[in-house]
Chain A
Amino acid sequence: DIVMTQSPDSLAVSLGERATINCKSSQSVLYSSNNKNYLAWYQQKPGQPPKLLIYWASTRESGVPDRFSGSGSGTDFTLTISSLQAEDVAVYYCQQYYSTPPGFGQGTRLEIK
């Protein structure tokens, strides 16, 4: 199984500042035949189901604010929130769908400093 490891486990950022969350996979999730990284990012707020933010490592889901961006390739990925808003307080998860089982990272809790 591919193991997904996020860092840090928790993060406190001031309003308007940049937040960066990292995700590392135990093996590459880049499929060479189509040059796509099989990696998604989710946001989960308390009492709610997860919400898809980013897929194919960098494609923003419809309706997601453009302050959210995804980058990286192979085994190392980053979710960046360019200017933190109060409503961005949540737990963020990365997930690989390169192989079964499509595992999740352990989550990163984002708070306001």
Chain B
Amino acid sequence: QVQLVQSGAEVKKPGASVKVSCKASGYTFTSYYMHWVRQAPGQGLEWMGIINPSGGSTSYAQKFQGRVTMTRDTSTSTVYMELSSLRSEDTAVYYCARDLEVGATSGMDVWGQGTTVTVSS
């Protein structure tokens, strides 16, 4: 079955970086774009960016430009999201989510289980 499995929870100090992984299985990894979405405690959903696993091209939300890097490893069907210069406001659950349509941007039909990142001194 189609599945996205994310790496485990992280605790980081302000100023540090975090790298979250998302391993895909059950489908052709390079055919579907992958989004990253985060959710701060008790808050709504915030789109961070998207990566095309085929060529590796990315598009980031303006808010995260310069601090976020999304990459992929086609040999392991894994995408990564690295966020640098962490601050307390980055404390959130981070989700990867597969796009619904092949080679296009639409809804997000498969989601990872979420990775909790806590930023605290």
Size band of the B side of the interface? 20 to 34
> C-beta contact mask, A19-52 vs B, less than 8 Å → 1, else 0?
0000000000000000000101010100001111
CB-CB under 8 A from B57, the residues of chain A are: none
The reply to whether A52 and B61 contact each other, CB–CB distance below 8 Å, is no
B59 and A100 within 8 A (CB): yes
Q: Which residues of B contact A95 (CB under 8 A)?
A: 45, 107-108
The answer to whether A102 touches B113, judged by C-beta atoms less than 8 angstroms apart, is no
B107 near A49 (CB under 8 angstroms)? no
Known: A38-B106, A95-B107, A97-B105. A52 touches B47 (CB 8 A): no
- 8 Å CB contacts to B: which residues of A57-84? 61
Q: Are A101 and B109 in contact (CB under 8 A)?
A: no
A49 touches B44 (CB 8 A): no
Q: How many residues of A contact B (CB 8 A)?
A: 22
Q: Min CB distance, B9 to chain A, in Å? A: 13
Is residue B32 within 8 Å, beta carbon to beta carbon, of the partner chain?
no
CB contact between B95 and one of A49, A52, A93, A100 (< 8 Å): that residue:
A49
Pairs across A and B, CB under 8 Å, 23 listed: A40-B106, A40-B107, A49-B97, A49-B113, A50-B37, A50-B97, A50-B108, A50-B111, A51-B111, A52-B109, A55-B100, A55-B106, A95-B107, A101-B47, A101-B61, A102-B35, A102-B47, A103-B47, A104-B46, A104-B47, A105-B44, A106-B44, A107-B44
Residue ID in chain B nearest A62 by CB atoms: B109
Pair A97/B107 contact, Cβ less than 8 Å: yes
Q: Which residues of A contact B109 (CB under 8 A)?
A: 52, 55, 61
A56 CA to B95 CA, complexed, in Å: 22
B112 within 8 A of A: yes
Q: Report the minimal beta-carbon distance from A12 to chain B, rounded to whole angstroms.
A: 19
In the bound assembly, the distance between CA atoms of A52 and B35 in angstroms comes to: 14
Q: Is B114 interfacial (CB-CB < 8 Å)?
A: yes
A52 to B44, alpha carbons, bound, how many Å?
A: 15
Contacts of A105 in B (CB 8 A): 44
**Given A55-B107, A97-B107, A49-B114 contact (CB < 8 Å):** yes
Smallest Cβ distance from A30 to chain B, in angstroms? 14
